[in-house]
Structure 1
Amino acid sequence: MSNTFARCLAVAFLALIFTLPVTAKKKRILVFSKTAGFYHKSIPAGIAAIQQLGKENDFEVDTTKNAALFTLKNLKKYAAVVFLSTTGDVFNEEQQTAFEQYIKAGGGYAGIHAATDTEYDWPWYGKLAGAWFISHPAQQVATLNVINTKTIATKHLPETWKRKDEWYNFKAINPDLKVLIKIDESSYKGGVNGDNHPMSWYHDFDGGRSFYTALGHVEESYTDSLFLKHILGGIQYAMGVKKMETTP
């Protein structure tokens, strides 16, 4: 074989390598479930459900209760962080700063249920999550009104959705939220927010993306296909893989 022919083969081989399609690396999320206050028994069911959503929708799911993993270097691995019924003061100042930097760099946040019962002394977090929990009545059936049916988190839901859960009341509701679902306080006992009582919302915040749903206290939520599609849409928006608003 001549040197010229060998060089031609080598060039052709390299060209083939660089033109072959590269398999895209799967997006990865972190499910964070540290509790410094009330512990929700539904957390393990929630983790398992989100892991299954990842398998079915082509994203990887890591889980932790360890706030020490909240460093900017580590958070860069994740398209979004899901706060699954976290409660209380879960971060020190360094971890708070790292998470702020992550969001400001374009990261995503998805809060489920008690995520709003978290970090009351951190004003930035309250604005990111969208509100803070103040109270709830006994678990009961109530009527939810889906006020935006044109999003990936709600398009599958009935406009009037009756279900049993633990219905949160809120304070410090961020006025810039794009509300997805409200609760009808006349349909149950114990609401204190009146006609403007949001239960799920999203917003672009401080460079990143934020989704929250107050649903998800009861374990049965995590085998409910309507609820699972609801949180999947929120997670996909938080990851930045899909726009929240769908085209008509």
Structure 2
Amino acid sequence: MQRTARLATIAAALLLGSAALPAGHAAESAAPAAAEAGKEAGKEKKDKKDKKEGENVLVFSKTAGFRHDSIPDGIAAVQQLGEENGFTVEATEDAARFTPENLAKYDAVVWLSTTGDVLDDAQQTAFEEYVQAGGGYVGVHAAADTEYDWPWYGQLAGTYFDSHPAIQEATVHVEDHEHPATEHLEDSWVRTDELYNYQSNPRARTRVLATLDESTYTGGNMGDDHPITWCQDFDGGRSFYTGLGHTKESYAEPEFRQHLLGGIQYATGAVEATCAPPGGGDEPGYTPIFDGTSLDGWQQAGPGSFELNDDGTMTSTGGMGLLWYEAKQFSSYSLKLDWKMAGDDNSGVFIGFPASDDPWSAVDNGYEIQIDATDAEDKTTGAVYGFQSADIEARDGALNPPGEWNTYELVVEGENLKLYLNDVLINDFTNTDPVRSLTDGHVGLQNHGDGDEVSFRNVRVKELTTPVP
């Protein structure tokens, strides 16, 4: 099918489907907290941007490890793209330019095949504050081979470099044709480059734009899902990364140059794009409590555990136990998370229970939103376990089968719980039990027992404006 026909079909489908999409479920977020440190610099940067034409881009290419001989070609390409598309470009290898005052001049910083430890602690802090104030990041190729001892940077880039085979031809599969970096490409893009393997799969934390087809070359080690280009809205800013761009020839290729241009335009904010991971994170006001990188803030109660996987997910093992978020209690909130069963498995989301190292405390004092392929109607997927069945017809229409991801949204206001499955309301429950209350408590995930394998990702919470009495 020709690209134009494909776009026309997609556009028509989106136009028809938009009328049927449900409105946002969660109430408006609470009034913003006081501005954080570094926000004033961001405001000054925005004010400057409003007063000028075009954007300002800094290309940073310092190396403390392997140095790519394509760096001069990359700098020249970005400079020419700037001349042709109305943004200014400065290039540097001087890390001393990473100060709050200097970084505030730029809408995005391109890390062009940087390697090794290139910033000191103060410079790292300045760049973190720059991104938190709305700055953009573009990582090209060896930018993933940079700053291994700076975890924040690894999250910004999406993951770290692991290894690579020899330069060779391979097929790139484009997943997202809406992003400016990939909208010009066909579904398959055949090109020659040095093809990175990564330490982890960034899919759970980013929006993957393109993947490598490992069957078309030798030396890949990530299997059927091998991301090579992705973007994300990260810590207040915008992040775009492409693993392509090793060779000098890349920067003379029209398709790659347009790919790079689209990434820069997204990172500067000149062009809008959706960069939330599938299934969540795109709504304002949500705070990740599990982003795939660690279990900080969580505590295991009882036997079994959850295993943290390289792809940003966690999977239940053993039990019966409960992984609960001890860092904070919630009163009026929207809790969103993605879950996937391997087969006929059992797990659940617990809410409204007090802190305890006994998993049965959550059973006796809170409520479980069940995940179970087969059981009685009040004890299967979408049920408030033992209290109220889901709307089975609505549930069955919305439910994805084992092996595929589903998204729960739990909206708790006062003693009312509304449960959405993949944006469809499937349960509306009001607590009347005087022993239990939804108005304050912790949230947790059940590891049910041996043989039950349920995975979770993208757990995030939005606290709502005013609890309902």
Q: Normalized against structure 2, the TM-score is what?
A: 0.47
* Residues 45-66 of structure 1 deviation map (CA, whole Å, 9 limit, x = unaligned): 0000000000000000000001
Q: Equivalents in 2 of 1:124, 1:72: separation in Å?
A: 17
Match of 2:64 in 1: 36
CA distance in 1, matches of 2:81, 2:66: 26
How far off is 1:188 after superposition?
0.6
Number of the residue aligned with 1:192: 221
Residue 238 (str. 1) matches residue 263 (str. 2): no
Q: In the TM superposition, what is the alpha-carbon distance from 1:108 to its structure 2 partner?
A: 0.3
Q: Which residue of structure 2 lines up, in the alignment, with residue 106 of structure 1?
A: 134
- Kindly indicate whether residue 252 of structure 2 is the aligned counterpart of residue 223 of structure 1: yes
Gaps in structure 2 of 5+ consecutive residues = 1-49, 276-469
* Structure 2 residue identity aligned to 1:192: N
Does residue 1:178 correspond to 2:178, yes or no?
no
Alpha-carbon shift at residue 245 of structure 1 (Å):
4.7
Question: Do structure 1's residue 202 and structure 2's residue 227 form an aligned pair?
Answer: no
Map 1:92-103 onto structure 2 (within 5 A).
Answer: 92-103=120-131
Which of 58, 61, 66 does residue 94 from structure 2 map onto? 66
Amino acid at match of 2:206: L
Q: What is the one-letter code of the residue matched to 2:58?
A: L
The alpha carbon displacement at 1:133 in A equals 0.3
Mapped contact 2:172–2:188 kept (Cα < 8 A):
yes
Q: Is the 8 A contact 1:26 1:58 kept in 2?
A: yes
Structure 1 residues 211-244: Cα deviation after superposition (integer angstroms, max 9, x where no partner): 0000000101101000000010000000011112
Cα separation, 2, equivalents of 1:180 and 1:114: 18
Counterpart residue number, 2:397: none
Q: Is it true that 1:212 corresponds to 2:241 in the alignment?
A: yes
Asked if the contact 2:201–2:226 (Cα under 8 Å) also holds between the matched residues in 1, the reply is: no
**How far 1:23 moved relative to its partner?**
7.5
Residue type of the partner of 1:118?
Answer: T
Aligned to 2:106: 78
Tell me how far 1:151 sits from its aligned partner: 1.5
More helix by share: 1
* CA drift at 1:176: 1.2
Higher radius of gyration, 1 or 2: 2
The whole-number CA distance in structure 2 between the counterparts of 1:23 and 1:37 is: 40
Determine which of 163, 173, 185 is the counterpart of 1:157: 185
Q: Is the 8 A contact 1:233 1:244 kept in 2?
A: no
- Tell whether the 8 Å contact from 1:169 to 1:193 is kept in structure 2 after alignment: yes
For residues 147 and 123 of structure 1, do their structure 2 counterparts lie closer, same or farther at Cα, with a shift above 3 Å needed? same
| Cα shift readout 1:146-172 (whole Å, capped 9, x = no counterpart) | 011122111111211111100000013
- 1:47 and 2:75 matched: yes
CA distance, structure 2, for counterparts of residue 23 and residue 102 of structure 1 = 19
The residue aligned with 2:116 is 88
Q: Are 2:137 and 1:137 equivalent residues in the alignment? A: no
- Of Structure 1 and Structure 2, the greater strand share is in 2
Q: Could you report, residue by residue, the CA deviation over 1:29-73 in whole angstroms, capped at 9, with x for unpaired residues? A: 100000000000000000000000000000000000010100011
CA distance in 2, matches of 1:72, 1:196: 38
Distance 1:64 1:129 in 2: 20
The root-mean-square deviation of aligned C-alpha atoms, in Å, is: 1.4
Query: What's the secondary structure of 1:164's corresponding residue?
Result: strand
- Matching of residue 147 in structure 1 with residue 181 in structure 2: no
Conserved? CA contact 1:137–1:191, under 8 Å:
yes
Question: Residues of 2 paired with 1:74 and 1:51: CA distance?
Answer: 19
Q: Which one-letter code corresponds to 2:247 in the other structure?
A: V
Aligned to 1:4: none
Amino acid at match of 1:37: G
Whole-Å separation in 1 of the counterparts to 2:105 and 2:168: 39
Contact 1:199 1:215 (C-alpha < 8 Å) held by counterparts: yes
* Preserved contact between residue 152 and residue 245 of structure 1 (Cα < 8 Å): no
Flag the structure with more relative contact order, 1 or 2, with Cα contacts below 8 A and sequence separation at least 6.
Answer: 1
Q: Is 1:153–1:244's contact at 8 Å kept on the other side of the alignment? A: no
Q: SS at 1:233's partner residue? A: helix
Of 88, 112, 121, which aligns to 2:149? 121
User: 236-245 or 79-88, which moves further after superposition?
Assistant: 236-245
Post-superposition offset of 1:26: 3.1
Q: Structure 1: how far apart are the matches of 2:129 and 2:259? A: 27
Distance, in Å, in 2 between the alignment partners of 1:99 and 1:105 is 10
